[in-house]
């Protein structure tokens, strides 16, 4: 069955001019999102995940940034449509759950009224009808006694409830695409699991495409169908969740996976990635990951590896041969299992 293509980003670049130099926040990102699919975008802080999605919604100030590429949504390039056309799409057909709900909710206005405001921005609706929709949505996202909590202020909600309220706001128009930017940040493990389960359930109920931004591969393990790993503003590996977790191809992905604790393998030590992510003003020549990579060799410090699919729909950007990648990953896995046993 042919899936409906909702969003396609092509060679997106976002560069900021600063007194210290050009910040190459996003430097050539391409991906696709179909209806009913969850795409997990993973990488350390500063890898370009949030800027990619914010720019796709034109929430980046285009006047202060050099932006190129295409963001195709239902046949239209969102980077080229007028501001009025954009207002009809953003928040209605494409919505975003922001990272910090407490900063996004106004402390002096009731939570229910703030969600209702999102309805009035796109529809001519009575206050009574809007309130009913908001109450129904608050209940749908798991907030108890939604009719009474409608009149609460943000400080009266717990962190998990504020995040649920932001999800309700993003879903108020039943959008086609939902972007969740670190939706479980600062939440405890139990609430984190509840939020992820909620997003997965709502994706099915509302039949939307979801982009989940996170620094933690473990977060996307249960919800994403496709994973894009980013480093220094560029994708370094894209594949199905099963492929990325069972046979990752890029050394950076290996490092991210080895930093995830395994509850079923006691005694296994976490292996941190050595060094720090590079400055996006002074990205190293060649492969940007090579200063931190234990498997670097001669071409890595000179030639930038292109994102290349060697077959099977699992492209990566690394100079190592596919045979060496499989061998090195399998050796790492054998060592980890030996330590755990």
What value, to the nearest 5°, has the Cα angle with vertex 74 and ends 70 and 76?
45
- Could you tell me the CA-to-CA distances from 92 to 53, 114, 119, 182, 209 in Å, in that order? 16, 15, 9, 21, 14
Taking the C-alpha atoms of residue 26 and residue 11, their distance in angstroms, rounded to an integer, is 9
Tens of pLDDT along the chain (341 residues)? 457 899 999 999 999 999 999 999 999 999 999 999 999 999 999 999 999 999 999 998 877 899 999 999 989 999 999 999 999 999 999 999 888 787 889 999 999 999 999 999 998 989 999 999 999 999 988 899 999 999 999 999 998 899 899 989 988 898 999 999 988 876 778 888 888 888 888 888 888 999 999 988 888 888 899 999 999 999 999 999 999 999 999 999 999 998 877 666 666 667 788 999 999 999 999 999 999 999 999 999 999 999 999 878 899 999 999 999 999 999 988 887 776 66
Taking the C-alpha atoms of residue 96 and residue 90, their distance in angstroms, rounded to an integer, is 9
Q: Give residue 279's region: left, alpha or beta (phi > 0; psi -120 to 50).
A: beta
Partnered with residue 240 across adjacent β-strands are: 226
- Could you tell me the CA-to-CA distances from 214 to 133, 228, 299 in Å, in that order? 30, 11, 30
Taking the C-alpha atoms of residue 270 and residue 169, their distance in angstroms, rounded to an integer, is 38
DSSP 8-state class, residue 158: -
Taking the C-alpha atoms of residue 83 and residue 123, their distance in angstroms, rounded to an integer, is 18
- Structural domain boundaries in the chain: 96-174, 247-340
Greatest CA span in the chain, whole angstroms? 68
Of 27, 69, 21, the residue nearest 230 (C-alpha): 27
In degrees rounded to 5, what are phi and psi of residue 319?
Answer: -80, -15
Contacts of the segment 136-142: beta carbons below 8 A, 24+ positions apart: 137/168, 137/171, 137/172, 138/112, 138/164, 138/165, 138/168, 140/168, 140/171, 140/202, 140/205, 141/165, 141/167, 141/168, 141/171, 141/198, 141/202, 142/194, 142/198
Taking the C-alpha atoms of residue 187 and residue 167, their distance in angstroms, rounded to an integer, is 15
Helices (H) and strands (E) in the chain, counts: 12, 10
Taking the C-alpha atoms of residue 159 and residue 58, their distance in angstroms, rounded to an integer, is 27
């Amino acid at each position: 069955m042919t899936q409906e293509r909702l969003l396609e980003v092509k060679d997106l670049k976002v560069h900021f001019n600063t007194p210290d130099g050009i910040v190459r926040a996003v430097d050539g990102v391409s991906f696709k999102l179909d209806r009913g699919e969850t795409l997990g975008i993973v990488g350390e802080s500063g890898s370009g995940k949030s800027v990619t999605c914010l720019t796709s919604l034109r929430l980046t100030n285009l006047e202060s940034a050099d932006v190129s590429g295409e963001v195709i949504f239902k046949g239209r390039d969102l980077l080229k449509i007028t501001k009025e056309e954009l207002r009809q799409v953003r928040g209605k057909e494409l919505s975003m759950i922001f990272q910090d709900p407490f900063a996004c909710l106004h402390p002096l206005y009731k939570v229910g009224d703030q969600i209702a405001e999102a309805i009035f921005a796109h529809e001519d609706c009575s206050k009574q009808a809007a309130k009913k929709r908001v109450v129904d949505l608050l209940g749908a996202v798991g907030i108890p006694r939604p009719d009474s909590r409608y009149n609460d202020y943000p400080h009266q909600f717990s962190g998990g409830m504020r995040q649920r309220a932001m999800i309700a706001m993003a879903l108020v128009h039943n959008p086609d695409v939902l972007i969740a930017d670190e939706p479980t940040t600062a939440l405890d493990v139990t609430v984190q699991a509840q939020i992820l389960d909620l997003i997965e359930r709502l994706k099915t109920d509302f039949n939307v495409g979801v982009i989940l931004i996170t620094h933690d591969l473990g977060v996307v393990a249960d919800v994403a169908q496709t994973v894009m790993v980013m480093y220094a503003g560029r994708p370094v590996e894209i594949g199905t969740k099963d492929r990325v977790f069972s046979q990752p191809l890029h050394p950076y992905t290996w490092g991210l996976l080895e930093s995830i604790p395994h509850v079923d393998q006691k005694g296994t030590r976490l292996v941190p990635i050595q060094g720090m992510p590079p400055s996006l003003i002074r990205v190293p020549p060649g492969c940007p990951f090579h200063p931190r990579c234990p498997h670097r060799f001669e071409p890595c410090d000179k030639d930038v590896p292109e994102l290349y699919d060697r077959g099977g729909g699992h492209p990566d950007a690394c100079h190592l041969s596919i045979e060496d990648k499989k061998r090195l990953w399998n050796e790492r896995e054998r060592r980890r299992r030996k330590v755990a046993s």
